[in-house]
Homo-oligomer: A and B are copies of this chain.
């Protein structure tokens, strides 16, 4: 099965299915067609779902027995941009295998998308294809593999709503993440959130910094005061009510996180930073997985081109990314931030605020029977106790599935944590691919 997987992965990663660049539109269609053909060859009924803006979504369905339970597997065939000149050791769109005896994962496949997400969704495709051939498939299976995960597909809610019946299922499975070291993981939560733009206007036009500087309001000064005011010296957000609803971490999770955190040096090394700036007494995993945050992702004010402009900027804009945790409501948190800004901004500043869609945070009940089954199986395959991972990122579609289909998602990561997803030399451990194929086969097998 591994050899078949390798052959197919070689073809799959060769498509330059880069969704962030319109120029690759034809390549997206080729990739979708390749998936349709592959799934069709296993006996799946296939169909392309189309949205207003997005690349076609590959939908495929295989019914073993209408009385069986149905599992919907979500994945994506689009990838981040990659060019050899970025620093790759080889052509990013040609699968290569390298051996490194020093690494905890000895052999690795390298290519763009090898982990995120082609390599991971292909594990389920190949394992299930084999089970169909052997007549051992335990569930009816549906695949939904989209082409705009990397660009935050705006059509998803509409497409899911429109195809509610088609997508209906008992469980949803997503494998689009990393395990921790050599320990398998099940993801128990995802932060939700939104982005917002705060614009400060202090005057009709930029003025001369010589003729007016020091005597009139400076939008850059005013906005920096706002952003700087958001955190106290213990790195807590000072906005009243910002932490309302946040659940205290239970002592079991706290202990696991403390152990994972250790002295934190592996984290600062991975992140390329000097120190961690968690809240007082908080470890990295609790901080990113179970605590809300506000991060400035960009500031725009004045002149930042070559040379200098001698101006007092009349406009300044901050982009903020807000992350909330279950059961917080991102819309409510937005109102708190808005209220704080309105109170904080001086009267002579004209303030405007916009925001993106609100993504709901996700909390999986790790004691539900299906999750327990997955955990047991992971332990059997990886020969290690699975870790419960609280993820700082968001996968908006998980909230959409919950809201629109009423179905919980099983978040089973299969990638190695040094895979360098989105970076150069993206790689997937051969050992973990084999374990992934084993897990998928056992999970879907009668």
Chain A residues with CB under 8 Å of chain B are 191, 193, 195, 202-205, 207-218, 220-221, 223-225, 227-231, 235, 267, 271-279, 284, 287-288, 291-293, 295-304, 308-314, 316-317, 319, 321, 323, 347-348, 356, 391-394, 422
Contact = CB atoms under 8 A, between A and B. Distances in A.
Given A203-B273, A209-B321, A295 B214 contact: yes
Given A214-B278, A273-B202, A296 B224 contact: yes
- Give the number of times this chain occurs in the complex, counting copies: 2
Given A213-B321, A220-B227, 20 more contacts: A195-B310, A210-B391, A210-B392, A210-B394, A211-B288, A216-B276, A218-B277, A220-B299, A227-B228, A274-B348, A275-B347, A295-B312, A296-B313, A297-B303, A298-B303, A298-B308, A298-B309, A298-B313, A302-B319, A308-B356
A287 B214 contact: yes
Contacts of A229: 228
5 contacts: A202-B273, A204-B273, A272-B314, A297-B308, A299-B301
A302 B297 contact: yes
A110 to B, nearest CB: 19
Nearest to A423: B205
A224 B217 CA distance: 16
A356 B297 CA distance: 29
Contacts of A224: 223-225, 227-228, 296, 299
A212 B271 contact: yes
Contacts of A221: 227-228, 230-231, 295-296
A108 B206 CA distance: 25
A229 B228 CA distance: 9
The 4 A-B pairs with the shortest beta carbon distances in the complex, nearest first, are: A204-B272, A214-B293, A298-B302, A210-B393
A363 to B, nearest CB: 16
Contacts of A301: 296, 298-299
Q: Which has the most chain B C-beta neighbours within 10 Å: A205, A221, A224?
A: A224
A135 to B, nearest CB: 41
Nearest to A317: B304
Contacts of A277: 214-218, 348
